[in-house]
Structure 1
Amino acid sequence: MDYIHTVNYYETDKMGITHHSNYIRWMEEARIDFLSQIGYDYAKLEQMGIISPVLSVSCDYKKTTTFPDKIYISVTVKEFKGVKLHLSYEMRNENDDIVCTGTTSHAFLNAEGRPIRMNQEYPQLYEILKDLAVKD
């Protein structure tokens, strides 16, 4: 299910167009929603001792958005092999036009900042993410 973000007035610049930095924030909102939908919200991950820092972000802007557009953001597991999680995002407006695409990469670390062997330490989450990964 898509995450829906309504463009806020404060997210626009002097020209009335959404400032480019907000799209990365929207990816984070959609990612948090995605994790909640699969049963692993951030609070649960933190309780389990998992932190998931962002390793990289890319964003390709296709079309401008303005206040108060509704943006539908789909999140897809692009790749997951247990060490890094690669997500892709597609943002569409109410006319179903793509306004932005992006990717993020994440690691899974324990509280000491060491990589987690997801398949051994958290096999249930590992299987969910592996099953959701796009098949070639």
Structure 2
Amino acid sequence: MTPYEHKVQYYETDGMGIVHHSNYIRWFEEARVDLLEQLGYGYDRIEAEGFGSPVLEVCCKYKTMAHFGDMVSISAHIIEYNGVRMALRYEVRDAQTGELRCEGESRHCFMGREGRPVSLKRSWPALDRVFAAQL
């Protein structure tokens, strides 16, 4: 999969001129959305089929600072998947130097329209195979 690239915007920085910590979590989501689109199953398609994927947990370890105007490259990889839950790992790197800015993980589950957990293995086997193949 191709890493997602993001140019740091001025509004994402704080009074010290560095990216505010909350934006890295947003970038994780941008990279996750991009990954799903690359797999052919964007959130719009998943939701149109009646499924949701709420965030259960997210963590981020900050390593070095990004600044306004920097270009960052965010890789997202599925690291766990069992048909009902999925975990992804992220790395945010400076796009020019490759220096690690932060790393993190997010955990999700799959739910149907009624708000109950569902197994993609039974409910959407094609998507289940795509996710399982990423491990």
Q: TM-score range by the shorter chain?
A: over 0.9
Which residue is equivalent to 2:107? 105
**Which residue number in structure 1 is paired with residue 48 of structure 2?**
47
Q: Secondary structure at the match of 1:68?
A: coil
Distance (whole Å) between structure 2 residues aligned to residue 40 and residue 70 of structure 1: 26
Q: Which structure 2 residues correspond to residues 1-136 of structure 1 after superposition, within 5 A?
A: 1-93=2-94, 94-133=96-135
Return the offset for 1:68: 0.5
By how many angstroms is 1:98 displaced?
0.6
**Unpaired runs of at least 5, structure 1:** none
Deviation per residue, 1:73-125 (Å, 9 max, x gap): 01111110111100000111020011000100000000111111110111011
CA shift, 1:34, in A, is 0.5
Give the number of aligned pairs: 133
Task: State the one-letter code of the partner of 1:23.
Answer: Y
Deviations 1:30-57 (A, max 9, x none): 0001100000111101110000000000
Name the TM-score, length of structure 1 as normaliser: 0.96
Q: What fraction of aligned residue pairs are identical, expressed as a percent?
A: 45
The residue type paired with residue 59 of structure 1 is C
Q: Could you tell me how far 1:23 is from its partner in structure 2?
A: 0.1
The amino acid across from 1:40 in the alignment is: Y
Amino acid corresponding to residue 69 of structure 2 in structure 1: P
CA separation in 2, counterparts of 1:62 and 1:39? Answer: 32
**Which amino acid letter does the alignment assign opposite residue 109 of structure 2?**
A
Deviation, 1:59, is 0.1
> Where in structure 1 do 4 or more consecutive aligned residues deviate above 2 Å?
none
